[in-house]
Amino acid sequence: MRLPSLCCAVLTLLISTTTFAQDLMPMAGGNMGNPMPKNVEDNRQVVLLTAEERSIVAAEMRQMLASVQGVTDGLSRGDMQAVIAAASESGMAMMQNLPSPIRMKFPAPFSQMGLATHRAFDQIAQEAKTIKDPAPVLKQLSGGIQNCIACHATYRFASPKSNNGM
Ligand code: HEC
């Protein structure tokens, strides 16, 4: 590396670390960000589940998030086998494995959104078997994620005893 370009590199490094340090300054100055807003309300409808039931459903939710990641990662690498594997983890089989006492506690619209989501994952797996272009699969995934968003906006879980979501 010649001297001028070395100087340039050192200067750039200096400037970027200084900018970074400035970003952290407000914290150091005692300003810890925004205060808590007042009157925070969660108006979502409650689905009553015991702690155990909730654990089971939450584990499935985390699996679905992992499937979303696996599908997008597979698509980004053009690895359709990975897409199929990731999507299949969250297909209809997942719903069928859910113990029926839990399923019976779900309100009908909740079950329908769940069904649509699992079906979307199966369709993604099916589509990925024949399609090489990631765009239509991404479109399907995006449609499936709309169910996640809609259901999360409408429902929350709470335990019958405390009723506070814990
Ligand atoms: C049929 C309704 C429904 C659908 C569809 C749904 N979720 Fe959820 N999910 C919930 C509810 C309710 C909670 C708990 C929210 C609460 O109590 O605050 C939750 C919680 C979660 C959590 C947190 C789990 C934990 O460990 O606490 C993750 C992650 C999650 N969902 C991911 C997803 C993803 C990804 C999708 C779509 C692929 C999805 N969910 C679709 C209803 C749904």
- Is 145 a member of any domain? yes
* Residue owning the nearest CA to atom 31 of ligand 1: 61
- Is 142 a member of any domain? yes
Instruction: Specify the CATH number for the domain of residue 62.
Output: 1.20.120
- Is 128 a member of any domain? yes
Token pair of 115 as six digits: 């069904």
C-beta of residue 153 within 8 angstroms of C-beta of residue 145: no
Residues facing 155 on adjacent strands: 45
Cβ(140) – ligand 1 distance below 6 Å: no
- Is 67 a member of any domain? yes
C-beta of residue 48 within 8 angstroms of C-beta of residue 160: yes
Q: Which atom of ligand 1 is nearest to the CA of 144?
A: 38
d(CA 29, CA 84): 50
Over its C-alpha atoms, the chain yields an Rg (Å, rounded) of 23
d(CA 113, CA 158): 19
Residue span of the structural domain in which 129 resides: 52-158
Which residue ranges in the chain fall short of pLDDT 50? 1, 163, 165-166
Q: Choose among 162, 44, 166, 58: nearest CA to 102.
A: 58
- Is 113 a member of any domain? yes
- Is 106 a member of any domain? yes
Give the pLDDT score at 165: 45
Strand ranges, E, within the chain? 45-48, 155-158
151 vs 1, 20, 34, 130, 148, CA distance in Å? 57, 39, 29, 30, 5
CA of 44 relative to ligand 1 center, distance in Å = 13
- Is 61 a member of any domain? yes
CA of 158 relative to ligand 1 center, distance in Å = 13
Cβ(138) – ligand 1 distance below 6 Å: no
C-beta of residue 71 within 8 angstroms of C-beta of residue 134: no
- The domain tally of the chain equals 1
Reported as a single tens digit per residue, the pLDDT across 22-61 is: 555 555 556 679 999 999 999 999 999 999 999 999 999 9
d(CA 148, CA 154): 10
- Is 139 a member of any domain? yes
